[in-house]
């Protein structure tokens, strides 16, 4: 490092309360680590920000030094958006505080918190925010792109429950955006990703959930894939808002409830998360039991355990590639294409997840937020090529691409979910936002005219 650069780093160290880490610092490797082990990048500097004022100083400093700037919430962007070779990472991991107001049913959550931290604090009061299905994911990136999971049918996306956000703009101003303060910015934040500033605090509306909820998981062998997907299709069309779930084309885990001969077997799991009464859940899942799955798991469980149930299937450091799309519906032809694709996958960790999009998700008008997905789509498909074996990674990536191409004819107009892009191709980002892109570009011009924040599903200033 040159003397000039080292002098500048000293200036940043003086300016912020959080740690400033360089590649030879002992904590650097951990700070520069992201979830996707397929991405190996080394930022020149990681600024661990402990406050909005720290973020403002780091943003100013990075621009003065002419460094490319990335923002890290939970580090789960499959594209590795939180790290740039030779750039500055503004790392929000110290900002994990979650403060719950159980009377108003609201939570204020730091911009570096994980879903696990948010869930744990809210569940102390029997409350929850709809969010994702793997608890080590970051609240920030997930929310800014949309955020769906088990509670989407009951309470919508994470952004549908966002009341306000504290955000540091690239010029260093700290503002709060809500429906009545900076409403254009607030609209853009709800789906437009990290394009408009660095969010240091999210304020969410909460819903009574649990603490005990009901799981029903029914696993069908690969030979019955078409039948199982059609069964799931019928189930989720009829299911009430209190049921979330997924049609999960996965391999059976080596878990105690799985017969040993079925460990790692490929197939289709119909997963139902019931947030209503126990007897309602039992009646609802009866047709799935009667279909005679290879094995099942039907049990009450704490909501936080449901939120962690899939954590081990997607551990830190795996090599991953992902693409997503929305399906207008699961036609028979789409079911056949999905079944053919899952027969072609090799890694037991690779998966094709179909999240039904009903209930509260569809209540929100399309134009009410900047969310890239269509509110009339019936399913979000997440195609993940995941492996621990470096030799298999190219094949899994190819599997994702060919599966995505095979499902494109059934997709609901718009392209992918921006949070499921392993590559931010410009045409795909534009396609994801459709006619909203122009409005987002105008808002980007107001808040980040020089496109300082571009390590993301980038919206270019108009
Ligand atoms: P990061 O890599 O830290 O950030 C992602 C993007 O957001 C980057 O562009 C970053 O610059 C920006 N960003 C992060 N923090 C801030 C901030 N505070 N202010 C401004 N910009 C910021 N999505 C779902 O909707 N539902 C799911 O169930 C789901 N499950 C997932 C499971 C796994 C294992 C993984 C890897 C991803 C999953 N996702 C899911 C996708 C997830 O929403 C995205 O990967 C999301 O980007 C993760 O956010 P993060 O903060 O962890 O990531």
CA of 6 to the centre of ligand 1 (A): 32
pLDDT-above-90 percentage for the chain: 94
What pLDDT sits at residue 416? Answer: 86
The arithmetic mean of pLDDT across residues 443-459, rounded, is: 98
Q: For residue range 54-70, list pLDDT tens digits in order.
A: 999 999 999 999 999 99
Domains of the chain from N-terminus onward: 3-91 (3.30.43.10), 98-208 (3.30.465.10), 212-420 (3.40.462.20)
CB 199 less than 6 A from any atom of ligand 1: yes
Q: Over 80: is that where the pLDDT of 235 sits?
A: yes
Ligand 1 atom closest to Cα of 314? 34
CB 244 less than 6 A from any atom of ligand 1: no
* pLDDT band, very low/low/confident/very high, at 238 (cuts 50, 70, 90): confident
What pLDDT sits at residue 334? Answer: 96
Average pLDDT of the chain, as a whole number:
96
Q: Over 90: is that where the pLDDT of 422 sits?
A: yes
Q: Over 70: is that where the pLDDT of 222 sits?
A: yes
CA of 455 to the centre of ligand 1 (A): 13
Q: Does a cis peptide bond (omega within 30 degrees of 0) precede residue 57?
A: no
The arithmetic mean of pLDDT across residues 331-350, rounded, is: 96
Q: Which residues contact 449 (CB under 8 A, 6 or more apart)?
A: 461
CB 130 less than 6 A from any atom of ligand 1: no
CA of 141 to the centre of ligand 1 (A): 3
Q: Over 70: is that where the pLDDT of 3 sits?
A: no
**What gap in Å lies between CA 305 and CA 240, rounded to an integer?**
22
Q: For residue range 18-32, list pLDDT tens digits in order.
A: 999 999 999 999 999
β strands within 243-336, DSSP E? 243-251, 266-274, 295-302, 319-327
The arithmetic mean of pLDDT across residues 94-115, rounded, is: 98
Q: For residue range 270-325, list pLDDT tens digits in order.
A: 999 999 999 999 999 999 999 999 999 999 999 999 999 999 999 999 999 999 99
Q: Over 90: is that where the pLDDT of 225 sits?
A: yes
**What gap in Å lies between CA 78 and CA 70, rounded to an integer?**
14
Instruction: Give the pairing type, strands 127-128 and 207-208.
Output: antiparallel
Q: Over 90: is that where the pLDDT of 413 sits?
A: no
CA of 147 to the centre of ligand 1 (A): 9
* pLDDT band, very low/low/confident/very high, at 328 (cuts 50, 70, 90): confident
Count CB-CB contacts under 10 A for residue 40. Answer: 11
Contact present, 158 and 150 (Cβ < 8 Å): no
CA of 149 to the centre of ligand 1 (A): 13
Q: Over 90: is that where the pLDDT of 329 sits?
A: no
**What gap in Å lies between CA 382 and CA 23, rounded to an integer?**
34
Contact present, 105 and 126 (Cβ < 8 Å): no
34, 51, 84, 132: residue to mutate for ligand 1 pocket, most atoms within 8 A of CB: 132
The pTM is what? 0.97
The arithmetic mean of pLDDT across residues 366-380, rounded, is: 93
32, 48, 74, 76: residue to mutate for ligand 1 pocket, most atoms within 8 A of CB: 76
* pLDDT band, very low/low/confident/very high, at 11 (cuts 50, 70, 90): very high
CB 192 less than 6 A from any atom of ligand 1: no
33, 70, 77: residue to mutate for ligand 1 pocket, most atoms within 8 A of CB: 77
CB 198 less than 6 A from any atom of ligand 1: yes
CB 324 less than 6 A from any atom of ligand 1: no
**What gap in Å lies between CA 422 and CA 97, rounded to an integer?**
29
Q: For residue range 174-189, list pLDDT tens digits in order.
A: 999 999 999 999 999 9
Q: Which residues contact 7 (CB under 8 A, 6 or more apart)?
A: none
What pLDDT sits at residue 350? Answer: 97
The encoded tokens of residue 29 equal 């490797």
């Amino acid at each position: 490092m040159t003397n000039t650069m080292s002098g500048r780093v000293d200036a940043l160290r003086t300016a912020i309360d959080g740690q400033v880490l360089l590649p030879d610092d002992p904590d650097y490797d951990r700070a520069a680590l992201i979830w996707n082990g397929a991405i190996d990048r080394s930022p020149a500097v990681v600024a661990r920000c402990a406050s909005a004022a720290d973020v403002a100083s780091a943003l100013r400093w990075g621009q003065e030094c002419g460094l490319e700037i990335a923002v890290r919430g939970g580090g789960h962007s499959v594209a590795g958006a939180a790290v740039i070779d030779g750039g500055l990472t503004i790392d929000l991991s110290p900002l994990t505080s979650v403060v719950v107001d159980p009377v108003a049913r609201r939570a204020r959550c730091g911009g570096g918190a994980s879903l696990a931290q948010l869930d744990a604090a809210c569940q102390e009061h029997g409350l929850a925010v709809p969010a994702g299905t793997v608890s080590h994911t970051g609240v920030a990136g997930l929310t800014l792109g949309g955020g769906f999971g088990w509670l989407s049918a009951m309470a919508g996306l994470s952004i549908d429950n966002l009341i306000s956000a504290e955000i540091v703009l690239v010029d260093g101003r700290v503002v709060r955006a809500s429906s009545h303060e900076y409403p254009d910015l607030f609209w853009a934040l709800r789906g437009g990703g990290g394009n408009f500033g660095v969010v240091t605090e999210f304020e969410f509306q909460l819903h009574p959930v649990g603490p005990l909820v009901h799981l029903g998981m029914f696993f069908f062998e690969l030979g019955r894939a078409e039948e199982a997907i059609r069964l799931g299709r019928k189930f989720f069309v009829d299911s009430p808002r209190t049921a979330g779930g997924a049609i999960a084309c996965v391999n059976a885990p080596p878990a105690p409830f799985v017969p040993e001969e079925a460990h790692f077997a490929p197939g289709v799991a119909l997963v139902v998360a019931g947030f209503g009464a126990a007897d309602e859940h039992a009646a609802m899942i009866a047709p799935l039991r009667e279909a005679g799955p290879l094995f099942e798991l039907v049990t009450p469980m704490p909501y936080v355990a449901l939120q962690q149930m899939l954590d081990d299937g997607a551990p830190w450091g795996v090599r991953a590639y992902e693409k997503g799309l929305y399906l207008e519906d699961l036609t028979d032809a789409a079911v056949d294409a999905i079944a053919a694709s899952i027969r072609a996958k090799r890694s037991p960790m690779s998966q094709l997840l179909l999240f039904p999009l009903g209930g509260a998700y569809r209540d929100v008008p399309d134009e009410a937020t900047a969310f890239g997905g269509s509110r009339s789509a019936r399913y979000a498909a997440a195609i993940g090529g995941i492996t621990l074996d470096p030799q298999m990674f190219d094949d899994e990536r190819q599997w994702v691409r060919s599966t995505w191409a095979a499902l494109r004819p059934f997709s609901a107009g718009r392209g992918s979910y921006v949070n499921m892009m392993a590559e931010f191709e410009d045409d795909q980002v534009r396609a994801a936002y459709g006619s909203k892109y122009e409005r987002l570009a105008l808002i980007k011009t107001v808040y980040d005219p020089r496109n300082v924040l571009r390590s993301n599903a980038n919206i270019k200033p108009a």
